Amino acid sequence: MKVRIGWTHLILLLATLVGLLAFLYPFFAGVVPQAGTLPSGAHPQSPLLALTVILLCLAAILATLATGAMNARMVAILGVLTAANAVLRAVPGPAGFAAVFTLPVLCGYAYGATFGFLLGALSLLASAMIGGGIGPWLPYQMMALGWVGMTSGWLPRMDRYPRLEALVLALWSLLWGFGFGAVMNIWFWPYIMQPQQSAMYWSPGAGLLETLKRYGVFYVTTSLWWDAARAIGNGLLTWLMAVPVLRLLRRFQRRFFFVWDRSIEQASTTDPSPPDVR
């Protein structure tokens, strides 16, 4: 995608770094976990700080777009793809599977990191609006699914090997199926503690390896089976859809992302060849 690479990408990258730090902040800040299942009690400022920082990051990214980073075609295609992804999310699948990763992964890969981030984040916003899913978890979900689309844009190009490309993207969807669940747990896991179950809950002072070990136990016990259904479902769907959908996305790419170059138009007054489309 050839859309204002400089500022938009810089702000997206900085917001991603800040967002990532906000997710991981409680581990470094030494928050005392509270008994219960949600952030609470004596340190209400920590989850609120993380939520505020995530909201500021999302607002900064979306505000950048309003400064002219998008043209009407991009707005239209993002709106329509957001609708498609929201519909896909609403289609119920076995074991809680929802096909929410396939489009952000494929579109992020084909149209770039910024487009992928926006599609991921905004499709969750639209989906939450139609499905009544607005809550404190929404900014975290928007950020996490935005990262799915954004990182897909960073994958190496494999246009010449369509089967390999489909396989890699399917594996990528599979990995993100687990990764998304693992990331989403982190918004509340550091704040909860069940005394005498220190094997699966974080406590201040636990080293990196110990924290990873405890989180592994927590993840396997509470999330793995749900995430497995989502990861396998999205992986299979991406593998099935990758080749035809990518062909379609590339076919429409030139129609959506061409930029009219005035200098060529001016040159054409002396040279009658048609203006370049890129």
Span interacting with other proteins, options 150-158, 162-170, 190-198, 223-231, rule CB under 8 A:
190-198
Considering only residues 68 through 97, tell me which ones interact with other proteins, judged by CB under 8 A.
68, 70-84, 86-87
| Least Å from the CB of residue 224 to other proteins | 14
Phi, psi of 161 (to 5 degrees): -125, 80
Instruction: Work out whether 118 is an interface residue with other proteins (CB under 8 A).
Output: yes
| Least Å from the CB of residue 80 to other proteins | 4
| Least Å from the CB of residue 182 to other proteins | 19
| Least Å from the CB of residue 155 to other proteins | 21
| Options 157, 196, 207, 209; binder of other proteins; rule CB under 8 A | 196
| Least Å from the CB of residue 90 to other proteins | 9
Residue span 136-155 as binding mask against other proteins, x where in contact by CB under 8 A, dash where not = x-------------------
Question: Which residue matches tokens 């769907």?
Answer: 237
Considering only residues 165 through 184, tell me which ones interact with other proteins, judged by CB under 8 A.
none
Instruction: Work out whether 67 is an interface residue with other proteins (CB under 8 A).
Output: yes
CB nearer other proteins, residue 155 or residue 253: 253
Span interacting with other proteins, options 117-125, 149-157, 205-213, 267-275, rule CB under 8 A:
117-125
Considering only residues 199 through 228, tell me which ones interact with other proteins, judged by CB under 8 A.
199-200, 217, 221
Q: How many chain residues touch other proteins (CB under 8 A)?
A: 83
Residue 190, classified by CB atoms within 10 Å of its CB into exposed (0-12), middle (13-18) or buried (19+), is buried
Instruction: Work out whether 126 is an interface residue with other proteins (CB under 8 A).
Output: yes
Considering only residues 15 through 54, tell me which ones interact with other proteins, judged by CB under 8 A.
15, 17-18, 21-22, 25, 28-29, 34-42, 44, 47-48, 53
